[in-house]
């Protein structure tokens, strides 16, 4: 008998019929003798409807009151799912975030979980109940309702799994696992049976929207065994996200290829080459709440240099404005922009012990005539900025170059030299 | 400076625009120096939408979980109204039933209020906040969300007014007060400035849907000064519902005329005239959850008698079935039914000291050729069952016979002899 925390997202509970399907799946797990805690999101579309109502009243609604309104989405789902479980002959009991109680700080709309009182849930499980908990929400010390921000239901599930020392935390979603690349771009993409937390974090931060990044961090920190599965397909094993690297010696060097389409590049020309200038350029950009991603400073010629950096395409205007406002302070700068950039990344813990990955990546792209404009690396990731029109081609040729379509151990492994 | 509790129903908060109107009205009261507590219902249609979702999942949903789902309706409104108050420049803070905390028993979907902790609300008022409370809901001792049943927002408002010892409890609705009769039937009907709790209770129980009957009982019991006003018209004084009878010596004998359209009559013929038979007939009807209203037993001839009673028209089938099922026990009874009945009532505390009211009523109806089929009375009410087709005529001629179109003291008063 295991204790399993399962999380079902908005699409999985998007209609009464789908809620019935979730109930039958949960009933099946309980029939196998497992104790089950279910975390649910709001029915798909509901959170946006509620935010829309709020925005009709105030452009910038009070965060405390916005949380009061938005938290009702998940509250509706927990009640409906319990009804569906009763209809399936299963004892079930619902909990809002404040009923659990999931104590958070008071940072409304983006609160952080401080503590979970798992005792009432454990008591309910012992009585043979399935426990259904509203995701995405908690309560602060003063009793005000808080929300964890978008995607926070994943975090609720992982935090509950940690507090209950659950055997596994299963995230049900509309994909059946984590893939080596987006199957819409690479038809040969293969579902991964396992991936490490570090790799998952890199993939999530690069725009693979399978799991919310905070929940992966949380799971890594508290060593929660995390699994991503499809709530629509039956019987799949999904992808297990683990702390330990796989025992398989034939493990591939690269686990997956991620990309981010909406990038823009800014290049500031003729920057005076003296200490503190990079901060004086990037400081105003950060203050304008624009996240800077890749940064490259070219080798200076004479007393001047060029500084390039990328931002989200939607933030390009804000970034340019921030630079113009700072012009007086830094001097007369020329700013060039390119809003048709994309980022492609290869991710894998195996590259720690295989130094040839960057060379394989750059050669493969070069052979296709794809110019690399910027490069950034972490210990387990190499990212390049390229022109967006080459994005699909780049992902496909890299997928092939690293042999990702092959099941590890079944063939020659990665073919990089 | 006064402390006022105001309640706005579903129609009054039916859209973001209307919520904005309520906010401006509340802001106006606060600007006059009053402390204001606002109780709101779910936006019109929302409660039915939520119940509909539940019914798609389960025919007879678990009451605890139904309350979890339905209580979200008011929770959305409190958040939205606070946002609108902020936009109007007013400090405001929302409370769900469990946040207040409004402690109830555990009778889910029809819970009764046991206690209200008014301290946090009072502290918020002292800080200059408008306090916005979700109507219709509370929390039981175990922390489960409860609801008070349909119309329960009125009860929340009155209970809060009692707990806070408020100067007045104002119920805003889509009518501008209590009328001497339904103005759609009697164009001369006049808005009453005052009415007693007893009269209001009789009117409410007779289908005048201005106030929920429980809230009137509650207000009477705790001597809460209650006022019904329109949330759409500006500046009206509405109708004040008071404990004390008016000081005006010219007070009319009758305050209003109420009616109920959907009545049905059952007559059981040839009932053996012996003790316990009425119970054996009406017992099975009550057990089938059918409310019996008026009951008349005719004078017996020989050893048999006729028993007539009225039920809601929608319950007629159930009542007949219950009688058929009991036939074996009571003997071979003939049951006649008439599903086109209506009930008309005259209500007024003045009839205690004016014994001629019944005579005036019967004579007036008789003069119009309207046959009275059944009669029932309380201390301040006389009701008659008549054929439905005479309903409008009966209400109009009684309204005139009791001089209700005239302002009390301005003319000859009631003209009954």
pLDDT in tens, A304-317: 788 899 999 999 99
pLDDT, position A378: 87
pLDDT tier at A414 (50, 70, 90 boundaries)? very low
Domain A3-174: give its CATH code: 3.40.1160.10
Copy the structure tokens of residue B382.
């006389």
User: Would you call B54 and A80 a contact, using CB atoms and an 8 Å cutoff?
Assistant: yes
Alpha-carbon span A19 to A29, nearest angstrom: 16
- What SS3 state is found at B323? helix
Contact between A395 and A181 under an 8 Å Cβ cutoff? The reply is yes
CA A405 – CA A259 distance, rounded (Å): 17
Give A79's contacts in chain B (Cβ within 8 Å): 54, 65-69
Which of B105, B55, B102, B49 has its CA nearest to residue B72? B49
What is the pLDDT, as a whole number, of residue B251? 64
Contacts of residue A242, defined as CB under 8 A and 6 or more positions apart, other chains included, come to: A194, A195, A196, A197, A225, A226
Query: φ, ψ for residue B74 (rounded to 5)?
Result: -70, -30
Nearest chain B CA: its distance from A134 CA (Å): 11
Nearest to B58 among A76, A86, A144 (CB): A86
Kindly identify which residue of chain B lies nearest to residue A14, measuring between CA atoms: B53
Report the residue from A58, A87, A96 with minimal CB separation from B87.
A58
Interface of A with B (CB under 8 A): 16, 19-20, 50, 53-54, 56-58, 61-62, 64-69, 71-72, 75-76, 78-80, 82-84, 86-87, 93-94, 96, 98-99, 143-145
CB A49 within 8 A of CB A70: no
Using CA atoms, how far apart are residues A127 and A121, in angstroms rounded to an integer? 10
In order along its 417 residues, chain B shows pLDDT tens digits of 899 999 999 999 999 999 999 999 999 999 999 999 999 999 999 999 999 999 999 999 999 999 999 999 999 999 999 999 999 999 999 999 999 999 999 999 999 999 999 999 999 999 999 999 999 999 999 999 999 976 689 999 999 999 999 999 999 988 888 889 988 899 999 999 989 988 888 887 666 667 878 888 889 889 999 999 988 877 788 999 987 665 554 567 889 999 998 899 999 888 877 777 788 888 889 888 888 889 887 766 667 788 899 999 999 999 999 988 877 776 777 899 999 999 999 999 888 888 789 999 999 999 999 999 999 888 899 999 999 999 999 999 999 999 999 876 554 444 443
Q: Between B101 and A202, where is the model more confident? A: B101
Q: Which of B13, B43, B68, B91 to mutate to test the interface with A (most CBs of A within 10 A)?
A: B68
User: Strand pairing partners for B345?
Assistant: B258, B383
Please report which confidence band the pLDDT of residue A416 belongs to, taking 50, 70 and 90 as the band edges: very low
Q: Which residues of A touch B67 (CB under 8 A)?
A: 79
For residue B99, give the nearest of A80, A87, A143 by CB distance: A143
Q: Which residues of B touch A (CB under 8 A)?
A: 16, 19-20, 50, 53-54, 56-58, 61-62, 64-69, 71-72, 75-76, 78-80, 82-84, 86-87, 93-94, 96, 98-99, 143-145
How do residues A340-358 score in pLDDT, each as one tens digit? 999 999 999 888 888 789 9
The interface predicted TM-score of the complex, written ipTM, equals 0.81
Return d(Cα B286, Cα A385) in angstroms, integer: 78
Least confident interval from A87-96, A247-256, A396-405:
A247-256
Where does chain B hold its CATH 3.30.2130.10 domain(s)? 263-341
Q: What is the CATH number of domain B263-341?
A: 3.30.2130.10
Instruction: Cis check for the bond before B176: say yes or no (omega within 30 of 0).
Output: no
Task: Give the chain B residue whose CA is nearest to the CA of A64.
Answer: B79
Closest Cβ–Cβ partner in A16, A62, A68 for B57 = A16
Please tell me the number of Cα atoms within 13 Å of A195 on its side-chain side.
30
Separation of alpha carbons B78 and B200, rounded Å: 29
In whole angstroms, give the CA distance from residue B118 to residue B99. 11
Question: Which residues from chain B sit within 8 angstroms of residue A99, using beta carbons?
Answer: 143-144
Q: Which residues in chain B have Cβ-Cβ distances shorter than 8 Å to A102? A: none
Cβ-contact A158, A215 below 8 angstroms:
yes
Beta partners for B179? B191
Q: Is the pLDDT of residue A156 over 70?
A: yes
Within chain B, what is the greatest distance between any pair of CA atoms?
79
Place of tokens 């909406």: A262
Q: Which residue of A58, A76, A143 is in closest CB contact with B72?
A: A76
Cα–Cα nearest to B42, from B64, B72, B79 = B72
Supply the pLDDT for residue A409. 58
Query: pLDDT (tens digit, 9 = 90+) per residue, A55-105?
Result: 999 999 999 999 999 999 999 999 999 999 999 999 999 999 999 999 999
Can you tell me which residue has the tokens 């709101």? B40
Tokens of A149: 């921000």
- Whether the per-residue pLDDT at A132 is higher than 80: the answer is yes
Return the H-helix or E-strand segment holding B205: helix B197-205
Instruction: Tally Cβ neighbours within 10 Å of residue A251.
Output: 18
- In the three-class reduction of DSSP (H, G, I as helix; E, B as strand; rest coil), residue B225 is classed as coil
């Amino acid at each position: 008998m295991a204790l399993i925390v399962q999380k079902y997202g908005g699409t999985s509970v998007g209609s009464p019929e789908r809620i019935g399907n979730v109930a039958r799946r949960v009933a099946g797990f309980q029939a196998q003798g497992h104790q089950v805690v279910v975390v649910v999101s709001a029915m798909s579309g509901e959170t946006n409807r509620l935010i829309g109502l709020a925005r009709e009243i105030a452009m910038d609604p009070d965060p405390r009151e916005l949380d009061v309104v938005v938290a009702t989405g998940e509250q509706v789902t927990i009640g409906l799912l319990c009804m569906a479980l009763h209809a399936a002959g299963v004892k079930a009991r619902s909990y809002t975030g404040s009923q659990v109680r999931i104590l958070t700080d008071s940072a409304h709309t983006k609160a952080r979980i401080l503590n979970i009182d798992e005792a009432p849930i454990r008591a309910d499980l012992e009585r043979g109940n399935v426990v259904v908990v509203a995701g995405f929400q908690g309560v602060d010390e003063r009793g005000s309702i808080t929300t964890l921000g978008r995607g926070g239901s994943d975090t609720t599930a992982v935090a509950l799994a940690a507090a209950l020392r659950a055997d596994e935390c299963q995230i049900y979603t509309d994909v059946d696992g984590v893939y080596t690349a987006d199957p819409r771009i690479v038809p040969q993409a293969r579902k991964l049976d396992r991936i490490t937390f570090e790799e998952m974090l890199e993939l999530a931060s690069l725009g693979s929207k399978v799991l919310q990044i905070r929940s992966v961090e949380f799971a890594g920190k508290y060593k929660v065994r995390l699994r991503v599965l499809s709530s629509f397909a039956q019987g799949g094993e999904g992808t297990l996200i683990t702390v330990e690297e796989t025992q398989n010696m034939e493990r591939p060097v690269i686990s997956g290829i991620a990309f981010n389409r909406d990038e823009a590049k800014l290049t500031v020309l003729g920057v005076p080459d003296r200490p503190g200038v990079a901060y004086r350029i990037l400081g105003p950009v950060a203050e304008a709440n624009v996240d800077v991603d890749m940064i490259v400073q070219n080798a200076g010629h004479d007393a001047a240099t060029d500084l390039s950096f990328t931002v989200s395409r939607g933030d390009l205007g804000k970034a340019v404005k921030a630079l113009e406002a700072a012009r007086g302070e830094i001097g007369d700068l020329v700013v060039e922009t390119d809003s048709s950039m994309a980022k492609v990344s290869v991710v894998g813990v195996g590259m720690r012990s295989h130094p040839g990955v960057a060379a394989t990546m750059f050669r493969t792209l070069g052979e296709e005539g794809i110019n690399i404009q910027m490069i950034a690396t972490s210990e387990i990731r190499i990212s390049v900025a390229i022109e967006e029109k080459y994005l699909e081609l780049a992902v496909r040729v890299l997928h092939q170059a690293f042999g990702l379509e092959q099941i590890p151990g079944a063939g020659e492994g990665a073919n990089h030299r």
